[in-house]
């Protein structure tokens, strides 16, 4: 009997819900045994978040400092590991980074096939690059990546996702759609589990190749690539400033966080729309370059 381990950290339960649908077909397969393990930070993070607590995780998330996590009660060997993670400030969430940097993760993941599953707003490209480096350092074999993003256009989720994180409210309001990933997309995640039942029966997990190709596992938005790259460069600078200002929770740090929040707001209201217009105008000349980048970020599972 093959053993599949599912690791995750989810605050509202959305990512856990995605994973439940993803692995439902595996759980019905009598040749497979699935084991869920929740990654728990030593000191729990709040949900819903307060404003300063939310931004206080920003520098450590960006610099991938991780956080302390509880040790997991695990068996020795698994045939496949499914790692569900959410994105915090263009980086894997702190508990996930903390876990992947632990000695337990390095032992567990060494030479094991790992499928990453992301449920986030819609900016995950840089986080996945960071995840790939964490998996490489742990000696894991990254075989596939599945990404589900929040419903509605980027411009709407820029409001609906933070509102959800800061208040716990997911409902649609005014002209904004409901926050989070659409219900039908979550239910459709079962297609990945169905495919895995077939591929695991053929021992494909040992063959160093993707198992979830042709299932629309990811949808890379070419328009967002440059935005993420620019945002991440600015994140690195601001994170350094906030870290220098003081320890998490300290008053000087709160002052820099407040300045940063104002900066971000002005940026979103001014530079971002200008950037969108410039990119639209430049698109015909950059089409080839963007296509190449999209193809890169779609790997390993593709569209």
Ligand X SMILES: Cc1cc2nc3c(=O)[nH]c(=O)nc-3n(C[C@H](O)[C@H](O)[C@H](O)COP(=O)(O)O)c2cc1C
Judged by CB under 6 A, how many residues of this single chain contact ligand X?
A: 20
Site string for ligand X, 186-205 (x = CB under 6 A): --------------------
Do 195 and 24 contact (CB within 8 A), yes or no?
A: no
Identify the residue among 21, 99, 116, 121 touching ligand X (CB under 6 A): 121
Q: How far is the CB of 79 from ligand X (least distance, A)?
A: 26
Do 140 and 112 contact (CB within 8 A), yes or no?
A: yes
Q: Is 113 helix (H, G, I), strand (E, B) or coil?
A: strand
Q: How far is the CB of 252 from ligand X (least distance, A)?
A: 21
Q: How far is the CB of 119 from ligand X (least distance, A)?
A: 6
Nearer residue to ligand X within complex by CB, 189 or 211: 189
Identify the residue among 5, 14, 29, 239 touching ligand X (CB under 6 A): 14
Name the one range near ligand X by CB under 6 A: 8-16, 207-215, 218-226, 288-296.
8-16
33 binds ligand X (CB under 6 A): no
239 binds ligand X (CB under 6 A): no
Identify the residue among 69, 90, 117, 215 touching ligand X (CB under 6 A): 90
Identify the residue among 161, 199, 239, 301 touching ligand X (CB under 6 A): 161
Give the span between the Cα atoms of 273 and 256, in whole angstroms. 25
Instruction: Show the tokens assigned to 43.
Output: 């000191």
* Angle, alpha carbons 212-214-217 (nearest 5°): 60
Helix axes 251-269, 271-298, angle to 10 degrees: 90
Give the span between the Cα atoms of 10 and 171, in whole angstroms. 19
Binders in 46-65 for ligand X, by CB under 6 A: 54, 57
Q: How far is the CB of 12 from ligand X (least distance, A)?
A: 3
Identify the residue among 86, 97, 116, 151 touching ligand X (CB under 6 A): 86
Q: Is 197 helix (H, G, I), strand (E, B) or coil?
A: helix
Nearer residue to ligand X within complex by CB, 223 or 286: 223
Q: How far is the CB of 75 from ligand X (least distance, A)?
A: 25
116 binds ligand X (CB under 6 A): no
160 binds ligand X (CB under 6 A): no
Instruction: Show the tokens assigned to 245.
Output: 């200002």
Identify the residue among 146, 165, 186, 211 touching ligand X (CB under 6 A): 165
Q: Is 78 helix (H, G, I), strand (E, B) or coil?
A: coil
Give the span between the Cα atoms of 254 and 295, in whole angstroms. 40
Task: List helix spans (H) across the chain.
Answer: 14-28, 51-56, 58-62, 94-100, 103-109, 125-137, 154-167, 183-188, 190-201, 222-245, 251-269, 271-298
Query: How many C-beta neighbours within 10 Å does residue 247 have?
Result: 9
Q: How far is the CB of 76 from ligand X (least distance, A)?
A: 29
Identify the residue among 4, 120, 138, 212 touching ligand X (CB under 6 A): 120
Give the span between the Cα atoms of 191 and 187, in whole angstroms. 9
Nearer residue to ligand X within complex by CB, 119 or 218: 119
Give me the residues that bind ligand X (CB under 6 A), please: 10-12, 14-15, 54, 57, 86-90, 119-124, 161, 165
């Amino acid at each position: 009997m093959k053993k599949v381990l599912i690791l995750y950290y989810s605050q509202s339960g959305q990512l856990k819900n995605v994973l439940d649908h993803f692995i439902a077909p595996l759980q019905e397969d009598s040749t497979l045994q699935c084991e869920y393990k929740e990654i728990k930070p030593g000191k729990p993070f709040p949900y819903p978040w307060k404003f300063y607590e939310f931004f206080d995780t920003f520098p450590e998330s960006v610099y991938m400092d991780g956080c302390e996590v509880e040790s997991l009660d695990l068996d020795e060997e698994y045939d496949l590991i499914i790692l569900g993670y959410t994105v915090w400030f263009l980086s894997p969430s702190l508990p996930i980074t903390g876990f992947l940097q632990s000695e337990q993760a390095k032992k567990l993941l060494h030479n094991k096939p790992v499928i990453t599953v992301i449920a986030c707003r819609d900016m995950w490209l840089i986080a996945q690059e960071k995840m790939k480096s964490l998996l490489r350092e742990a000696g894991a074999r990254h075989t596939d990546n599945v990404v589900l993003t929040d419903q509605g256009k980027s411009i709407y989720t820029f409001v609906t996702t933070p509102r959800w994180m800061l208040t716990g409210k997911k409902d649609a309001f005014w002209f904004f759609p409901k926050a989070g990933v659409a219900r039908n997309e979550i239910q459709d995640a079962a297609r990945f589990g169905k495919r895995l039942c077939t591929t695991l029966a053929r021992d494909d997990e040992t063959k160093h190749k993707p198992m979830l190709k042709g299932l629309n596992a990811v949808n890379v938005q070419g328009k967002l690539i440059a935005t993420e790259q620019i945002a991440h460069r600015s994140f690195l600078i601001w994170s350094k400033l906030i870290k220098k200002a003081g320890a998490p929770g300290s008053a000087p740090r709160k002052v820099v966080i407040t300045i940063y929040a104002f900066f971000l707001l002005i940026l979103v209201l001014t530079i971002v729309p200008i950037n969108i217009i410039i990119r639209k105008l430049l698109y015909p000349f950059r089409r080839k370059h963007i296509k190449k980048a999209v193809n890169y970020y779609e790997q390993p599972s593709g569209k």
